[in-house]
Chain A
Amino acid sequence: MKKTFGYLILLALALAAPFVVYPVLLMKLLCFALFASAFNLILGYGGLLSFGHAAFFGGAAYFTGHALKAWGLPTELGILAGTAGAGLLGLAIGLLAIRRQGIYFAMITLAMAQMAYFFFISAPFTGGENGLQGVPRGMALGMFDLSNDRTMYFFVLAICLGGFLLIARAVHSPFGQVLGAIRDNEDRARSLGYDIERYKLLAFVLSATLAGLAGATKTVVFQLASLSDAHWHMSGEVVLMTLLGGLGTIAGPAVGASIIIALQNYLASGPFAAWVPVVLGVIFVTCVLSFRRGVVGELRAFIRRSF
């Protein structure tokens, strides 16, 4: 009951927000919150550190940009195309990487993502260093003109909410139970008859698909898909967001993403613009050294201790 109430308040805030805060910043926040939540599905709930999620985020950004700009697809279909593309890419990379563990898994995903990056640099449709510019926002449901930032915001909010709900459901599903068991004790899960690689692969593909949804949506918001979306910096940033917010908590990654984006946004306009990477680095180290559960994880532990 209390929980439902909390969610309703959050929803009300989200609906009111664009009348107070600059909608483009809010949309960026939402997209990265979704990206980090998708990433958390594989790191927090699957126990696998992927260092190549930029490939899915950036890949979907390019696919969607191309579908909207060159093929003139309606906005929804363009986003869908990018998302599906990221899912397929996830399947291909997942099939290669899923049998590896720990650092080897991270290395293979990184290597595959770098290959994707080089492909995006040299492929003709991506616009190379300049990126894919001037992607049309189009209309939502053929009725609502998305060139209006507030209209666009509600469209993005609907997409991201859908993504969050799917993630929350997946975590609390029969599949989520098996995934949790595998994370807790792989050998035992195997001895109970579960082909654990197939469960991990599904988690990876789901994660890649939703990361793609975030990247595709971001392209529509900024009307731009660029190399930085697919760069390994992006893979590192999403790790940071997830750890900072709280690994394996539903809300954590979204909170972490919000903090990082707000910080970047705040610093970028001041005299400390060049120091952004340093600040992020310090946050990362502090987080790993002194509050490993992340903001949401620590908060939860604190509430449990005190009540």
Chain B
Amino acid sequence: MNKTDDFILETRGLTKEFKGFTAVSEVDLRIRRHTIHALIGPNGAGKTTVFNLLTKFLTPTRGTIAFNGRDITAAKPAEISRMGVVRSFQISAVFPHMTARENVRVALQRKLGTSFHFWRSERSLHKLNDRADELLAMVGLERFTDAVVADLPYGRKRALEIATTLALDPEMMLLDEPTQGMGREDVELVTQLIRKVSANRTILMVEHNLGVVSTLCDAITVLQRGAVLTEGTYAEVSADPRVKEAYMGKAA
């Protein structure tokens, strides 16, 4: 197969209507393997809804989704995850009553196949601690392994979320505004982290910070009122007057 045509994820005519309101309309997305692809657009454009459709947290009204050439339109969220497409959430999604290490371990333990074993001791999970700590160190959380997550600052929670997602070693990661609500230093950290983990992986990310988009992303899709406005590289998209208008329109 020609490398440039190697699409890991493809949607056709993806549409979602909420009681007559069309949040996502006829979206054809094509994500190339091993690229970082951005989904941008003004507030309410439908970006998160697209994520929810791709990961089956919502059922599309119309349209199909294919992952690695396989139709996954009818799959369930947990199945999508097990196939290798793992998402993060716009509002940080962690397990607040657990420690940082336990958070990552919950993701790691699925592969052990003992997750229904209610008679087995928790100690059987300790063999995963090294790997969990490694992942935590990767996102700069080595000092927080035993901290209860509810007490961590927001930026740390987002970093933990990435570590937990990485624990599944997904073929494709969907990140919904990974830098939202972060200070400049943390944004820089997360940007580097995303670049680091993008090796041998495909990443689709929603991002409002255009600085992050321009440094990271190979391709960009702009959504407006649920439909694709334009697509291309950062240079192409940023030169498009309609994109400026879409963002200005939002400001006005």
Give the interface of A toward B (CB within 8 A).
166, 169-170, 172-178, 180-181, 183-185, 187-196, 198-199, 202, 206
Contact = CB atoms under 8 A, between A and B. Distances in A.
Contact of B93 (A191, A193, A198): A191
The prevalent SS among residues of B at the interface is loop
A173 B168 CA distance: 20
Contact of A175 (B55, B110, B118): B118
The prevalent SS among residues of A at the interface is helix
Given A178-B115, A190-B77, 17 more contacts: A172-B122, A177-B102, A177-B109, A177-B122, A184-B98, A185-B93, A187-B89, A187-B93, A188-B93, A190-B78, A190-B81, A191-B86, A191-B87, A192-B81, A196-B78, A198-B116, A206-B118
7 contacts: A170-B118, A174-B120, A177-B106, A181-B106, A189-B95, A189-B106, A193-B86
Contacts of B114: 174
Nearest to A41: B118
A174 B117 contact: yes
B117 A195 contact: no
A204 B128 CA distance: 28
B252 interface: no
Interface in B74-111: 76-78, 81-82, 86-89, 93-98, 102, 105-107, 109-110
B164 interface: yes
B112 interface: yes
B184 to A, nearest CB: 27
Contacts of B57: 187, 190
Interface in B33-76: 55, 57, 76
B120 A173 contact: yes
Q: Which of A166, A189, A192, A193 has the most B CB atoms < 10 Å from its CB? A: A192
A176 B122 contact: yes
Contacts of A176: 118, 122
B97 A173 contact: no
A-B interface, 3 closest residue pairs, ranked by CB to CB distance from nearest? A193-B81, A188-B93, A184-B95
